[in-house]
Amino acid sequence: MKGQMTGILKAALLGVTALGTGSQALADVTVIHAGELLAVPGEAAKKNQTVVIEDGRIREVREGFVDAANFGDDATLVDLKESFVMPGLMDMHVHIQGELGPRGDSEKLRMSAEDVGMRSVQFAHRTLMAGFTTVRDLGASSPQHVFSLRKASANGWVDAPRIVAAGSSVAATGGHGDVDGMRHDLLEKYTSKTICDGGEDCLRAVRHAVKYGADVIKITATGGVLSDTNTGTGQQMTDDELKTIMDAAHALGRKVAAHAHAAEGINAALRAGVDSIEHGSYADAESIRLFKKGGAYLVPTLLAGATVVNMAKTSDFMPPDIKEKALRVGADLVSNFQRSYKAGVKIAYGTDSGVSKHGTNADEALLMAKAGMPAMEILKTATVNAADLIGMSDSLGTIEAGKHADIIAMHGNPINDLNELLDVDFVMKGGKTVKNK
Ligand SMILES: [Zn+2]
């Protein structure tokens, strides 16, 4: 038996060897000549580099411009000698199924779940074309469709970013994340099975979310800006609920992202062991201590703040309660981000796109810069840090051997001028070039 196994192993090894020398045509090889390459954000960019991609993964990075013919007769050359090349950007907070606007309220009446699902293909495509090759979707009204989009993207049925999806949020009855502002019969119809009250029930909700496809658990620890419930932005889930959720999610191998504005809600979520705080508007000194102690990330979503402030000022579709919250929280997000970053809290890039328009995800970088974060640090939050937050540092976030070939390029160097991020010319996801203008 042992001899037989060894024989099979040998044959397999020989097969691999034959493939490596004689039949390279079988492998799909692309060679990029990069004028400037930021392989690992946080480390210096290098001039004149060659990136070799085989079957969707980075095979190697070499100094200088190496002739593509060295990597097989059929190797495709992508000439980016005049460009700045870096890992694909990663947005840790989007809602790919919607876009905030005056008609949002009536969408539930006009659009089927299938319509919402189909439209999200377009939103996802715009996001990818903007250079965002991975997104984390934190809350969808039609969870089954966000999971389908995730599959469609992974299988190459549509050109969309890689999607890490929460499905529907785990939230308290009547709180942010539950449905509001509708007729009672419709409220009933649209209430998700992940709405929960009390530890036991929230344990069930987390398990339900995982069973139906959640990669990550999204919770709403405090009130939110856009819920029309006149409930403010204070803590809405109890300490007991939070602790139960974290333990249940972690036991099932899932991280937890907590929407949180008020300090007591942020701190309760951090104490319970949350992996990231989304928004974090009113973090206090104790929050910062807890962030650093537990290693949780802050996902600032400054773009969401800027967007709702702008909408509150320039349009009148928001009810007065929401308008007031938008104006207050928008400004506080920025000062909290500055404080937290300076204190050494780990930051991962996230926009809350869906509040802002899909495809404008890079605007967050400009807001982070305006708040005082250096460009290289910002690029790190959208690559290395984001990959770490979703537990995928071994396959995403840098251009190094073995990782997914998620690569973007732009004409100028964004470390010198972040506006370059707004004009991404080249996008490759999983080795497939989806944009090259
Ligand atoms: Zn959100």
Q: What is the Å distance from ligand 1's center to 114 Cα?
A: 21
Answer yes or no: same fold for 2-88+398-436 and 89-389.
no
228 band by pLDDT with thresholds 50, 70 and 90? low
Residue 351 has pLDDT above 50, yes or no: yes
Domain range 89-389, CATH architecture: Alpha-Beta Barrel (3.20)
- 137 alpha carbon – ligand 1 mean position (Å): 8
pLDDT at 24 over 50: no
Higher pLDDT, 11 or 367: 367
Q: How many A from CA of 140 to the centre of ligand 1? A: 10
Rounded Cα–Cα distance for residues 141 and 178 (Å): 10
CATH number for region 2-88+398-436 = 2.30.40.10
What mean pLDDT is reported for the chain?
A: 91
Beta strand pairing status for 432-436 and 424-429?
antiparallel
Mean pLDDT, to the nearest integer, of 380-405? 98
**Tens-digit pLDDT profile for residues 62-121:** 999 999 999 999 999 999 999 999 999 999 999 999 998 876 667 878 899 999 999 999
pLDDT category, 18, cuts 50, 70, 90?
very low
Q: 409 with 424: CB under 8 angstroms?
A: yes
What pLDDT score was predicted for residue 332? 87
**Cβ atoms of residues 304 and 92 within 8 Å:** no
Predicted pLDDT at 5:
42
| Better-predicted residue by pLDDT, 21 or 217 | 217
Residues 6+ apart with CB under 8 A from 108: 141, 182, 186, 190
| pLDDT at residue number 344 | 96
- Exposed / middle / buried, residue 175 (Cβ in 10 Å: 0-12, 13-18, 19+): buried
Q: From ligand 1's centre to the CA of 313, what distance in Å?
A: 21
CA distances from 335 to 40, 92, 331, 368, 394 (A): 29, 20, 7, 11, 33
Lowest mean pLDDT of 1-15, 221-235, 381-395, name the range. 1-15
pLDDT value of position 326: 82
Q: Kindly report, residue by residue over 195-225, the tens digit of the pLDDT.
A: 999 999 999 999 999 999 999 999 999 988 7
Q: Three-class SS of residue 43?
A: strand
427 strand-pairing partners: 408, 435
Give the model's confidence band at 330: pLDDT under 50 very low, under 70 low, under 90 confident, else very high: confident
- What would the pLDDT profile of 243-298 be if each residue is shown by its tens digit? 999 999 999 999 999 999 999 999 999 999 999 999 999 999 999 999 999 999 99
What residues flank ion ligand 1 with Cβ within 5 A? 352
Q: From CA 433, how far away is CA 32, in angstroms rounded? A: 11
Which pLDDT score, from 0 to 100, does residue 81 have? 98
Q: What is the pLDDT of residues 135-154, one digit of tens each?
A: 999 999 899 999 999 999 99
Neighbouring C-alpha atoms within 13 Å toward the C-beta of 52: 20
State the distance from the centre of ligand 1 to the C-alpha of 100, rounded, in angstroms: 11
In the chain, where are the structural domains located?
2-88+398-436, 89-389
CA of 278 to the centre of ligand 1 (A): 8
**For position 229, what pLDDT does the model report?**
58
